[in-house]
């Protein structure tokens, strides 16, 4: 795997300056997809030994502020992914390079050739491995019941329809995406325009350091 001239660090979360978001926002909804089979690979992903969300402390504190502010308004976050080990990124590349496994095509990449995912959607490096990027959606809650807002596509849907400002987006979906973006931007996160779910704290605390310790 190419890492260019970026520093590559390894070690456990605390040594890397990361914290578990659940310690700052108890009860936050975690749906860490890569720790199970409900993801575009169809299987648990290398490096995900537990469904936890680790982030560098500044990013975790900012995300906790978003969650607490949303709770006052009857909304919450649902977290799909946070820190991502480099070994997981490598496993994505291997998966995308295997043309024989098409088991998740209908659900995640119905209109694109699997090999074409490399480069545009799946890269040899991921900002998630730096510890300040999070994938998430928005919930509407009443009493003890929460439901996900309609964002137009599933998480990790490889299609232009997942672009945050896709021109064909329905009005309700556009409003829901904007609610999420506004909440995140108020805490210092910036959206990746190709994916409505993807946000990075700016400026990043450690923009040149990629980590590879497992999530456990």
Query: Which residues are marked as active site?
Result: 195
**DSSP state at residue 130:** G
What is the chain's length?
216
Number of helical (H) and strand (E) elements in the chain, helices listed first: 6, 10
Looking up tokens 């190419």 gives 2
Closest of 130, 112, 119 to residue 92, by C-alpha: 119
Closest of 75, 88, 74, 79 to residue 24, by C-alpha: 79
- The rounded distance, in Å, linking the Cα atoms of 204 and 211 is 14
Q: Give 188's contacts (C-beta < 8 A, 6+ positions apart).
A: 62, 201, 202
| Residue 41 main-chain phi, psi, to 5 deg | -85, -20
Q: Which residues of 178-204 are buried (b: 16+ CB within 10 A; e: fewer)?
A: ebbbebbeebbbbbeeebbbbbbbeeb
**Which two structure tokens, joined as six digits, stand for 201?**
């704290």
Confirm if 2 and 124 have CB atoms less than 8 A apart.
yes
């Amino acid at each position: 795997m190419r890492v260019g001239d970026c520093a590559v660090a390894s070690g456990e979360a605390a040594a890397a300056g990361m914290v578990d978001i659940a310690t700052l926002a108890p009860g936050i909804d975690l749906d860490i997809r890569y720790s199970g089979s409900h993801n575009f690979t169809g299987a648990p992903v290398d490096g995900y030994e537990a469904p936890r969300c680790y982030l560098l402390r500044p990013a975790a504190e900012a995300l906790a502020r978003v969650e607490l502010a949303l709770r006052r308004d009857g909304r919450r976050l649902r977290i799909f992914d946070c820190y991502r080990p480099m070994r997981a990124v490598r496993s994505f590349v291997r998966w995308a390079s295997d043309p024989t496994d098409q088991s998740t095509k209908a659900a995640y990449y119905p209109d694109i050739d699997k090999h074409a995912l490399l480069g545009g959607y799946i890269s040899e490096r991921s900002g998630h491995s730096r510890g300040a990027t999070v994938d998430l959606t928005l919930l509407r809650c009443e009493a003890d019941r929460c439901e996900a807002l309609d964002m137009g596509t599933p998480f990790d849907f490889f299609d232009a329809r997942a672009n945050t400002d896709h021109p064909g987006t329905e009005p309700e979906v556009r409003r829901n995406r904007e609610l999420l973006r506004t909440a995140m931007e108020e805490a210092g996160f910036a959206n990746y325009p190709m994916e409505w779910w993807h946000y990075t704290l700016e400026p990043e605390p450690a923009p040149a350091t990629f980590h590879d310790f497992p999530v456990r």
